[in-house]
Amino acid sequence: MIINSLCVDYGSRFCPCILAVTGGCPVCSQVNGKAFCDCKASGGICIKQELLRNGGKAKPGRLTYECEVRYVVHHDGLVFFRVKVPLSLESEVIRPGGFVFVRRKDAPS
């Protein structure tokens, strides 16, 4: 697993994202219009090269899943959810630092 303090998706299957296409990548100096490459400083993966390999397009973003809330616990001002998620999603977020965003079904994404 590649970790970069500036981008949670750096080096993942979601990289390059739409920010690389629009010149707003927080990691890559070249997709942001700079003349120099600082890939080694950011972890060694060249996002510009990945973007070129992908035909100048962003890779597909994260998916939205409809999941079942098993139970909710309120404790000291916090809310804990137990949610049943697809196995494919579980395998992505089971490691420390994994996360999901939760919203109501009728809320905008």
Same domain (yes/no): 54, 107: no
Number of domains the chain is built from: 2
Q: What is the C-alpha separation between 19 and 51, in angstroms, rounded?
A: 11
Same domain (yes/no): 55, 3: yes
Going by pLDDT thresholds of 50, 70 and 90, the confidence category of residue 1 is very low
Same domain (yes/no): 107, 68: yes
pTM of the model: 0.61
Q: What is the C-alpha separation between 43 and 39, in angstroms, rounded?
A: 6
Same domain (yes/no): 26, 48: yes
For residue 14, what are its two tokens?
Answer: 């979601």
Same domain (yes/no): 103, 53: no
Which residue in 62, 105, 69, 108 sits closest to 85, CA to CA? 69
Q: Mean pLDDT throughout 96-109?
A: 81
Q: What is the C-alpha separation between 99 and 91, in angstroms, rounded?
A: 11
Same domain (yes/no): 25, 78: no
**Is 54 a residue whose pLDDT tops 90?**
yes
Same domain (yes/no): 14, 40: yes
Same domain (yes/no): 43, 95: no
Query: What is the domain extent for residue 100?
Result: 63-109
Same domain (yes/no): 24, 11: yes
Same domain (yes/no): 9, 44: yes
